[in-house]
Each structure stands twice: as structure tokens, then as C-alpha cells.
Amino acid sequence: MSVIRAENLFYCYNKGTSFERCGVKDINLSIEKGQIIGVIGHTGSGKSTLAQLFNGLIKPDKGKVLLNDKNIWEDFADIRQVHFKVGLTFQYPEHQMFGETVYKDIAFGPINQGLSGQEVDIRVLEAMMFAKLGPELLNRSPFDLSGGEKRRVAIAGIIAMKPEVLILDEPTAGLDPVSKEGILNSICEYHRQTGNVIIFISHVMEDIARISDKVMVMDKGNLIMYDAPENIFSRREELNKMGLEVPQVTKIINKVHNKLDIKHKCVITVDGAVEDIIENMC
Amino acid sequence: MAADIVLGQYLPGDSLLHRMDPRAKILLSFWLMVIVFTAWSYISLTIISVFTFIMILASSIPIKSYIRNTGFIFAMTLFSSFLNLFYGVGEPIFEWGFITITASGIQNSIVVAARIFDMMMISACLMFTTSANDMTHGLEKIMSPLKFIGVDVDDVIMMITISLRFIPITLEETNKIINAQKSRGADMNKGGPIDRIKSFTPIILPLFASTFRRAYELSMAMECRCYGLKGSRTHLKNFKLGIADLFAMVLVGLIMIGVIFCNNMDIAKII
Ligand SMILES: Nc1ncnc2c1ncn2[C@@H]1O[C@H](COP(=O)(O)OP(=O)(O)OP(=O)(O)O)[C@@H](O)[C@H]1O
Ligand SMILES: [Mg+2]
């Protein structure tokens, strides 16, 4: 059974003016239980728009978003429940913050879900653990934190709602390597413990290759490919045409394969590359 | 929501009005509004309204955009002119209970509606066809004589530019904060009016915080580029009055004469 399904999804901004731009066009896809989905695409290809459609923040012009086989817009009053079930961290989650303290900010979602005080406390502490935020931050103002810490507070604010689907819009953009690694680990950890669907938007092909079960490739609002990462990254020319790249290791291994005239096999992670080298070249 | 609010938006194009000298456009628009306010008789109003309509056509911007941008204010105008209907003096033409409608009441309401409508269209026309850059540059040129009486025109213009620039930024920011809260289950449409106003406090506060932060960052950036050191600045583009501008001036002049001349004419008398 699919957790999220999109059928003929269309969405345009500024409808009916000369500024009309279509964010996504005719998207059809289905995401199965327990998967991590990576989303890549050139700037302006509609990734964030798709994320907001899944989350129910914007209403499709045409087509349907089905969550557990139920159209999320069937009943307008239910859309709040959809926000809880499909948690979304925005592209610059710094903007997502509005609480006076880190605690209040993370607790905002759970409180709106109607949980009791004690449950809220537990949720907040759990979420902070996932996001690797020390308890000493609880009473700090979120605006005084560093960029990486803000990012993690924003993610914790979503995780605290225990969403069935977690959408992360470029969660690691502009972070140092250690913070980035920390966030990726938190995501994987959350996935291991809950088994929930994660949709991960990123411009870093290496990260996408490393954690996703399936990859979506968007271009100009269209869904061009939706497949396992090995299959996606073996189509280098097509990706290049859309302004995308394959991971560095893939390029290296491809070149080596060509030089040594070995039968081509797509390698996308560092570990995969190590195995491949030992197998073929030693 | 807030994203649907289009404020003084420039709609790029290549019409006669787009190509006019911004200085001429600003001054003539201002002058036209003055004329609108002196128009009183039906004939004068017709002249100026027809001219406004021609301007709208000449801007080659779809009438739809005009209606969308002025719809709300226009509805208010109609309402106020409807009220005007009952406050005339003189012989009543129609009487029912305490409601009396007089000829001057009718004229009043038509005049008010037409004036405000024309003014809105003229200013919309100016906004649509002039980019923010041209607008401020034009204003700067127009205000430059004030330098001689000690007004710091550069600073005033910089203030106008920045405030204009901050309007869309603030709207965008508001939208982002609203979205962030909605996606975490904030219910903006719950309860009575008091509850709704209350649910806006958590939006206003971070909005102020981020606007101040932005203003602070901007002032830092300006200082880094030595803003405040006085020197004569030049512009990339320099304006030159063209034939179209002269033509427009003559036209507006004629309209003015027409309006003043016809102000004392009564349709009834001509017919
Ligand atoms: N608020 C908005 N108003 C108008 N147009 C918008 C808005 N947001 C996005 N768009 C347009 O919709 C299209 C898709 O934008 P979207 O933000 O989904 O792209 P993206 O894939 O997330 O890009 P990026 O990688 O830069 O985040 C773009 O062409 C963009 O110009
Ligand atoms: Mg985006």
C-alpha cells in the first residue's frame, strides 16, 4: 500500500496574471511504506512546490494527493491533521522559528496536536535527542543560535509531531561538513527507529546517493525519473542536460572502468566504490 | 493570502507609456489628478474619464490587471458615493419616508465616484508602467531643486527606495511565517474575531524581529559600501525628454483647458 500518492498533480503560482508560473505539472507517483525518497532537480524545478503540495499547505489546481489512499483535500477541516501527518521543514528553516525559547518552539506542534503537558515534554526531549541538541539549549532564544543549531531546532520542531511522512527541504544546505553529517545521521536514525517515510530534497548528489531507496528527478515542474539511485545515476548524460550531476565517486569509477575496459556497473557510494575496486582491480 | 496582495506593481512592457520619461510621467500624472479634482460638470468629467480610458489603452496592460488592483478600493468608492446620494440640497426629486434624493445629491455621488475612479486609474497606470528604479530616479530629478533650500534629496530618495523595496519583502516574510505556523498546526481561522486577532500576535512578533534584523543587516551592508560619504553620484541611465513626452504634455494641457472651459457648462443647457 502506498503511503503517499500523487495523481495528475498541477500547481501554478500567480494564476491569471502575467506572472503566472507553473510550479509542478502532471505529477504521478506513489511512495511506499518505509522508504527514503531523495529528490533532485535544478533550481526552480518545483521540488519545494511538490513538498508543499504533499503537506497540504497549497491546494493543487488539478489532480489529487492521496495520503493512505485518502484525498487530503476531500474534507477541508481535515487539512490540519494532514499538516501533522506530513511534517515539512522548509528550505530555510530559520524562517520557521517563532518561539521565544527553543522549548516553546519545538513544543508548538505537539501543543497544537492537543497533547497533555507531560506528553509535550517527552516529545520535545525526544526530538532534541534525535536532532542532537543538548538540553542546555532549552531556554535559549532560537534567534541567538548559530545557523546549524537553528536548522536542528527547526527539524526537531517537526520531528516532535511524530509525522508519518517527514519532508526535509534542503536540510543541509549551507552547513559545515560536521553539522551536515550530524543532520544526515539524525535523519537515518529517525528512519531506523520509526520506519516512517522520509522525503529528502537536496542538491548534494552524494547525500542523495547515500541515503535514498528511490530518487525523484524533477525538471521544469515535471517528474522525469523516479527510480533506484543506481539506475538514476547511470543516466549521466540525461542528468547533465537537466543541469544535474552524478556523485563524484560515480564519475571516478566510470572513468576507471572505461580505462580498464571493465563491464560497466554503476557505483554511487564510497563504500560501493571500495568494494568495486577490490573486486576488479586487486 | 498576503501573496495575493499586489502593491504598486510594475508590469514590464514596451508601450508608449512605458517608454515615456519618468519625470514627465510623474509630473503629468500628478497634474492630471489636480485636473480631476477641479472637474465638476458632467462634460468635464467625461473628458477626463475618456482621457483616462485612452491612457489605460495606451499602456497596453490588460484591463483585468487594473480591475484586480483597484477592485477593493473601487467597491468602497461606490459605497461612499451611494451615501452621497442622500445628502444633496435643494428640490427633492424623490421622496420616501426620511429618504430624499435631490439633483445635487445625484450629481455629487456621480462626481465623487468618477473622480476617485479616475484618480485610481491614473495612479495605477503610473505604477504599472514605471519600474521602481525609474520612479525613484525620476522623483530624485524632480526634487533636486530642493537641494538649494537645504533638503538632502539623496537621503530622502534612498528612504523612499528602501521603503518601497521593503513592502514586498515584508509581505513575503509574513507569508513564510504564516506557512511555517500553519504547517505545524496553528489554526488561523478558529474562533471569533478576538481569537483571530490573538492568533496574529505570534505572526507579528517574529515579523518585527526579522524586519529589524533585515534593516540592521542592510544598514551594515550600506556602510560597508561607504554610504554617507557625500559625493556627486551619477546614474547609469540619463533621462531625455522625447517627442512622446512633449506630445503628452500638450495633450494634458489641452485636457486642462477643456476641463476648465466645460466646467461651467451644463448638459441640459446645451441640449
Ligand atoms: N511564492 C512563489 N510565487 C511565485 N512563483 C513561485 C513561488 N515559489 C516558487 N515559484 C516558482 O515556481 C517554480 C518552482 O519553484 P520551487 O520553489 O518549487 O523550485 P525548487 O525546485 O524548490 O528550487 P530550489 O532548488 O531553488 O529550491 C519556480 O519557477 C519559481 O519561480
Ligand atoms: Mg526549493
pLDDT at B8: 56
DSSP state string for A190-238: HHHHH--EEEEE-S-HHHHHHH-SEEEEEETTEEEEEE-HHHHHT-HHH
B68 contacts chain A (CB < 8 A) = yes
B71 contacts chain A (CB < 8 A) = no
The conformation of residue B91, written as its DSSP 8-state character, comes to S
Surrounding ion ligand 2 within 5 Å at CB are: A 48, 91
DSSP state string for B175-239: HHHHHHHHTTT--TT-SSHHHHHHTTHHHHHHHHHHHHHHHHHHHHHHHHTTTT-------SS--
Label the pairing between strands A197-201 and A165-169: parallel
* pLDDT 10s digits, B91-119: 777 777 777 777 778 888 888 888 888 98
Please, which residues have CB within 8 angstroms of residue A196's CB and are 6 or more apart in sequence?
A34, A163, A164, A165, A166, A190
Note whether A98 contacts B68, CB cutoff 8 Å: no
Please, which residues have CB within 8 angstroms of residue A149's CB and are 6 or more apart in sequence?
A133, A137
B200: its cell numbers? 496574529
CB contact at 8 A, B249 and B27: no
Helix axes B103-129, B63-84, angle to 10 degrees: 150
pLDDT at B5: 43
**What is the C-alpha end-to-end distance of chain B, expressed in Å?**
51
pLDDT at A97: 77
B198: its cell numbers? 490573538
B60 contacts chain A (CB < 8 A) = no
pLDDT at B139: 87
Task: Decide: residue B153, CB within 10 A, 0-12 exposed, 13-18 middle, 19+ buried.
Answer: middle
3-class DSSP state of B97: coil
Helix (H) or strand (E) holding B137: helix B132-143
Pocket of ligand 1 (CB under 6 A): A 13-14, 21, 23, 41, 43-49, 91; B 3
pLDDT at B3: 38
pLDDT at B267: 58
Note whether B179 contacts A57, CB cutoff 8 Å: yes
Q: pLDDT tens for chain A, 282 residues: list them.
A: 789 999 999 999 887 666 788 899 999 999 999 999 999 999 999 999 999 999 999 999 999 999 998 899 888 778 888 999 999 998 887 766 777 889 999 999 999 898 998 999 999 999 999 888 888 888 898 888 888 888 889 999 999 999 999 999 999 888 888 888 888 998 998 999 999 999 999 999 999 998 999 999 999 999 999 999 999 998 889 999 999 989 998 888 888 888 888 777 788 888 888 888 888 776
Distance CA(B234)–CA(A42), nearest Å, equals 38
A141 contacts chain B (CB < 8 A) = no
pLDDT at A174: 81
Name every chain A residue with its beta carbon within 8 A of the beta carbon of B179: 52, 57, 90
Name every chain A residue with its beta carbon within 8 A of the beta carbon of B189: none
Question: How many contacts (CB atoms, under 8 Å) link A and B?
Answer: 58
CB contact at 8 A, A220 and A21: no
Label the pairing between strands A214-219 and A70-71: unpaired
Higher pLDDT, B71 or A41: A41
Complex prediction ipTM: 0.79
Q: What Rg do the C-alpha atoms of chain A give, in angstroms?
A: 20
What is the side-by-side strand order in the sheet with A86-89? A86-89, A165-169, A197-201, A36-41, A214-219, A222-227
pLDDT at B184: 86
Tell which CATH classification among 3.90.1300.10, 3.20.20.450, 3.10.129.10, 3.40.50.300 matches the domain A34-59+77-229: 3.40.50.300
Distance CA(B5)–CA(A46), nearest Å, equals 23
Q: How far is A83 from chain B (nearest CA, A)?
A: 5
Residue B179 has pLDDT above 90, yes or no: no
3-class DSSP state of B72: helix
Q: How far is A107 from chain B (nearest CA, A)?
A: 10
pLDDT at B2: 35
A149: its cell numbers? 543549531
